[in-house]
Amino acid sequence: MIVGFVISTFVGFGFYLRSGTSLTDTIAEVNREKIPLRRFSTFYNQVINSKRDRNEDLSPQVLNQIKQDVVQSLVQESVFYQEAKRYDIYVTDMELAQTLASVPSFQRDGKFDPKTYAEALNYGFKTTPKEFEESQRRQIAIGRLRAFILQGIKVTDRELEQEFTYLSQTLPEKDRDKTLEDFKKNPEALREKIRQEKSAHILNRWYQQLGSNAKLKMHLESLENRVAQ
């Protein structure tokens, strides 16, 4: 499966903000790493096109929120990728090639096809191979870092019992019997639910800590002027 660009839903990601002069092709600097305007435009247009294909609302208010979300996600990606590099997590050319080769939309007759790949990037993603592959390399590294952070998370039998008791006391009556019966038949499903909740909590705390130490210079005013042109 291809590693996609996802607008983050994590909360509490605070930064140390400093005002700065406009840089010609930069929307932000995160610990001195520059986020280019072209990267923003690529992802912004992908989100817009996806919503347009689903006939979703694209009012000025929605467009402005999308812009803010994409900028925030790119800033977060930069922070996380820098952290991945700090852990010496890098993605080799072979790893990247294997990931791309496994994507059905890049294949012809079940095999990776360079022409199909180039056409998909040009007409579908509206980006170049160099830009796309750099983005994928970053996302793969971030995914490996997340997996490393979460690898030690366990759910004990005691936690399983406590969660079952909690659900039996708090679930709406109309859903309670079926949900509890399902978990009795498949306790590992409940264990996985707890593990995911613990993972989300740990990741949020980790992201907040990273964000509080990040130094960010934004160039939103310049960005807005460029988008309006």
95 near 144, Cβ under 8 Å? no
**220 in a domain, yes or no?**
yes
Segment 72-84, tens digit of pLDDT: 899 989 999 999 9
Percentage of the chain lying above the pLDDT 90 cut: 51
The pLDDT value recorded for residue 13 is 43
The residue segments making up the domain with residue 94 are: 16-154+213-228
Query: Per-residue pLDDT for 176 more than 80?
Result: yes
Question: What is the amino acid identity at position 152?
Answer: G
**101 in a domain, yes or no?**
yes
Distance CA 166, CA 197 (A): 14
Distance from CA of residue 222 to its chain's centroid? 25
The pLDDT value recorded for residue 104 is 94
**128 in a domain, yes or no?**
yes
Q: What is the CATH number of the domain that holds 78?
A: 1.10.4030.10
Segment 18-61, tens digit of pLDDT: 444 444 588 899 998 999 988 888 888 889 988 998 999 889 99
Q: Strands 16-18 and 215-218: what pairing?
A: parallel
Q: Which residues pair with 17 in a beta bridge?
A: 216
The pLDDT value recorded for residue 227 is 53
**6 in a domain, yes or no?**
no
Query: Per-residue pLDDT for 225 more than 80?
Result: no
Query: Per-residue pLDDT for 102 more than 90?
Result: yes
Give the up-direction half-sphere exposure of residue 188: CA atoms within 13 A in the CB hemisphere. Answer: 0
Query: Which strands, in side-by-side order, build the sheet including 33-36?
Result: 16-18, 215-218, 26-30, 33-36
Lowest mean pLDDT: which of 7-11, 143-147, 158-162, 225-229?
A: 7-11
**32 in a domain, yes or no?**
yes
84 near 43, Cβ under 8 Å? no
Our count of domains for the chain comes to 1
The pLDDT value recorded for residue 3 is 45
**160 in a domain, yes or no?**
no
